């Protein structure tokens, strides 16, 4: 989660919503990504999506069933769907996101009968730092 | 929808699940994509995602609020989330997908209070050809 949090800090510095993700395979981080829709001019460029795409490319396969994803914020519907498609084994996330999350809120993607893969889910890891980063970011933008 | 259906045919020929998408801006098709997770080694490479990313790149912005998306199959949770993030104005789709769809089935992404943008939605366009393509594809794979 340290790598994911560092990526979230980098996102904030780049004026992107501060969310970071890291993808782990066999105890090794294979991809780290920061949220970057503005920088990449890509509305799908959330940290989770970038980390999954990079890991799939590096490992040379579209199924990542032996990989874990660490992300600083509860994934949205898009990212939860991608996690299911990639067959990620374990999902670790920091802060819950009542406004846009789709794991324990809203679409609850993994709880649907239409979801074909459900990772093990662990939440609240690094939560205070992850949530603090987001709070500071939005406070500063409003201020 | 003709361009999306042609892309779906091309996907089938490339041994990918036959789904196609086209993105229209100002009455002009700006991006057409076929489902390609295997070819691209990318679990997120659904037709809708590729068309949205390509259009955002070409138009030079991450918000596509003046664009319409045509797709041969009901979008999944990942793609519905991406459609919301991209602020697509209108979504036209062909066949309903009770097993994996997330518009009128399962996660019902656009019906959630956590969904921050809801396109106008029109379904059933080109449905029989879109559904027939999928049926033939899966029948052939099983056979």
Residue pLDDT, tens place only, B109-127: 999 999 999 999 999 999 9
Give the catalytic positions of A in this structure. 48
Band (pLDDT 50/70/90 cuts) for residue A142 is: confident
Which residue from B minimizes the CA distance to A98? B114
Distant-in-sequence, close-in-space partners of A34: CB < 8 Å, separation ≥ 6: A7, A8, A10, A11, A14, A16, A18, A19, A20, A47, A50
The pLDDT, as a whole number, for residue B143 is 67
Contact at CB, B115 and A106, closer than 8 angstroms: yes
The pLDDT, as a whole number, for residue B141 is 84
Residue length of chain A: 143
Residue A141 has pLDDT above 90, yes or no: no
Instruction: Give the gap in angstroms from C-alpha A83 to the nearest C-alpha of chain B.
Output: 9
Alpha-carbon torsion, ordered A84, A89, A95, A100, to 10 deg: 0
- Which residue bears the tokens 């690094």? A126
Dist. CA B131–CA A131, nearest whole Å: 44
Residue A3 has pLDDT above 80, yes or no: yes
The pLDDT, as a whole number, for residue A21 is 98
Contact at CB, A115 and B77, closer than 8 angstroms: yes
Residue B82: count other Cβ atoms within 10 Å of its Cβ.
32
Residue B98 has pLDDT above 70, yes or no: yes
Residue A73 has pLDDT above 80, yes or no: yes
For range B32-55, the mean pLDDT: 98
Which residue from B minimizes the CA distance to A54? B42
Residues of B contacting chain A (CB within 8 angstroms): 37-38, 41-45, 49, 52-53, 56-57, 60-64, 76-82, 84-87, 98-102, 105-109, 112-116
Which residue from A minimizes the CA distance to B86? A43
Mean pLDDT across chain A: 97
Band (pLDDT 50/70/90 cuts) for residue B101 is: very high
Residue A50 has pLDDT above 80, yes or no: yes
Q: For a pLDDT cut of 70, what percent of chain A falls above it? A: 99
For range A82-95, the mean pLDDT: 98
Mean pLDDT across chain B: 97
The pLDDT, as a whole number, for residue A7 is 96
Dist. CA B127–CA B70, nearest whole Å: 12
Quick one: angle between helices A47-59 and A77-85, nearest 10?
20
Dist. CA B85–CA B81, nearest whole Å: 6
Beta bridge partners of A14: none
Residue A143 has pLDDT above 80, yes or no: no
For range B94-110, the mean pLDDT: 97
Contact at CB, B61 and A41, closer than 8 angstroms: yes
For range B22-29, the mean pLDDT: 97
Collect all residues of chain B within an 8 Å Cβ-Cβ radius of residue A76: 81, 85, 114
ipTM reported for the complex, 2 dp? 0.96
Residue length of chain B: 143
Whether residue A78 contacts residue A108, with contact meaning beta carbons closer than 8 Å, is answered with no
Which of B1, B110, B93, B44 has the alpha carbon at shortest distance from A85?
B44
pTM: 0.96
Residue pLDDT, tens place only, B68-91: 999 999 999 999 999 999 999 999
For range A27-33, the mean pLDDT: 97
The pLDDT, as a whole number, for residue A74 is 98
Dist. CA A106–CA A112, nearest whole Å: 11
Residue B128 has pLDDT above 80, yes or no: yes
């Amino acid at each position: 989660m340290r790598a994911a949090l560092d990526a979230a800090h980098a996102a904030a510095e780049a004026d992107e919503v501060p969310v970071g993700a890291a993808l782990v395979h066999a105890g090794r981080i294979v991809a780290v990504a920061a949220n970057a829709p503005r920088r990449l001019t890509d509305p799908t460029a959330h940290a989770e999506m970038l980390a999954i795409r990079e890991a799939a490319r590096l490992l040379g396969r579209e199924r990542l069933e032996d990989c874990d994803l660490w992300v600083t914020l509860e994934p949205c519907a898009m990212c939860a769907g991608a996690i299911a498609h990639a067959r990620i084994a374990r999902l670790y996330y920091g802060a819950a996101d009542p406004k846009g999350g789709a794991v324990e809120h809203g679409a609850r993607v993994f709880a649907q009968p239409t979801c074909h893969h459900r990772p093990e889910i662990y939440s609240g890891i690094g939560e205070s730092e992850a949530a603090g980063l987001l709070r500071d970011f939005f406070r500063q933008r409003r201020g």
